[in-house]
Amino acid sequence: MIALAAMLGYLVGSAPTAGLLGRLWGVDLRTEGSGNPGTHNALRTVGPALAAVVLMVEAVKGLGATLIGGELADDAGMVAAGLGAVAGNVYNVWYRMRGGKGLGISFGVMLGAWPIAVAPVVLLIASAAVITRSAGLAALTAIAGLIVLSAVWVAYELPTGGASPDTLLVVFAWGLAALLSYKHWRDSPLNPRWRSRSRESVSPGRH
């Protein structure tokens, strides 16, 4: 049943809702802006209205996947379905395995599996975004913080509001890190290619 939960989570997460919502607004998020069918690109290319709707829908998908997984296989099913949903968003079969960056759906997954940690993680990512002025670095900071929080929760057996605070929580945090880190590293100053592109974009033209 755990494998079934993961598969159903993947199917829920891979539903191309951001692309469909973009088309309702008259924009193709796959070709406009960064080409990423997600909340950040929706905000950049259209504005806060579309971004808010995309975020809400992705969060609902993540929450729904974890609840389905919990019904199928308790806490293990919740974690499996949640990670499956994030995998479906990031490595989307409908987009030739090139999907979003997974933050919106991860927010929903955490609401289902670990709601008590949502507030500190949101605060961490917001603070990091203000300090670093980089969405990629902010996301990587939040991912690192989530791993630390999982170790603390397991060590002290703190309540989660969702899945039991045992080793599954560590699996959940490291699973999210594995799924999310690459794309956010790629679009952060930690990536030498990102830095070189930034320098080229601000360098004066040759005469």
Q: What is the pLDDT of residues 8-32, one digit of tens each?
A: 999 999 999 998 999 999 999 888 8
- The four Cα atoms 177, 84, 100, 53 give a dihedral, to 10 degrees, of -110
Per DSSP, 204 falls in state P
Q: Using pLDDT thresholds of 50, 70 and 90, give the confidence band for residue 195.
A: low
pLDDT at 39: 87
Q: Which of 71-80, 128-137, 190-199 has the lowest mean pLDDT?
A: 190-199
Closest CA to 77 of 163, 198, 145: 163
* Residue 185, in any domain of the structure: yes
* Residue 100, in any domain of the structure: yes
- Specify burial of residue 201 (Cβ count, 10 A radius: 0-12, 13-18, 19+): exposed
Q: What is the pLDDT of residues 161-192, one digit of tens each?
A: 988 878 899 999 999 999 999 999 998 899 88
Q: Using pLDDT thresholds of 50, 70 and 90, give the confidence band for residue 56.
A: very high
* Residue 123, in any domain of the structure: yes
Per DSSP, 162 falls in state S
What is the Cβ-side half-sphere exposure of residue 122, based on CA atoms within 13 angstroms?
A: 12
* Residue 40, in any domain of the structure: yes
- CA atoms of 138 and 156, how far apart (whole Å): 27
The yes-or-no verdict on residue 58 having pLDDT over 70 is yes
For residues 87-107, give the mean pLDDT.
Answer: 91
Determine if the pTM surpasses 0.85. Answer: yes
* Residue 41, in any domain of the structure: yes
Range of the domain at 64: 2-198
State the total domains in the chain: 1
- Specify burial of residue 143 (Cβ count, 10 A radius: 0-12, 13-18, 19+): buried
